[in-house]
Amino acid sequence: MDVRIPEVGEALVHRFRRREGEIRAEVVSVDPERRAVRVRMDGKEYASLSAAAKAAAGTPQNGWIY
């Protein structure tokens, strides 16, 4: 398995640089062949890291970086 792909159940945390606080997401499924990671954040599931990052930031984001 690719070490950059998180495991199901793993908590992902983004800490903001310009303001206080953080965003937490839980990995709910992983498809390593497609490098697809589905996460749950604030009770809602997102089909990708980028979709979750966009919901958190309000603008499109690269989920692997965010």
Q: What pLDDT is recorded for position 3?
A: 64
At 3-43, the pLDDT tens digits run 678 899 999 988 877 778 888 999 999 998 888 999 999 99
Q: What pLDDT is recorded for position 32?
A: 86
Looking at the domain assignment, is residue 25 inside a domain?
A: yes
For 47, the domain range is: 11-57
Looking at the domain assignment, is residue 5 inside a domain?
A: no
Three-class DSSP labels, 4-57:
CCCCCCCEEEEECCCCCCEEEEEEEEEECCCCEEEEEECCEEECCHHHHHHHHH
Q: What pLDDT is recorded for position 40?
A: 97
- Does residue 61 or residue 40 have the better pLDDT? 40
Domain tally, the chain: 1
Rounded Cα distance, 31 and 47, in Å: 11
Is the pTM higher than 0.75? yes
Rounded Cα distance, 34 and 26, in Å: 19
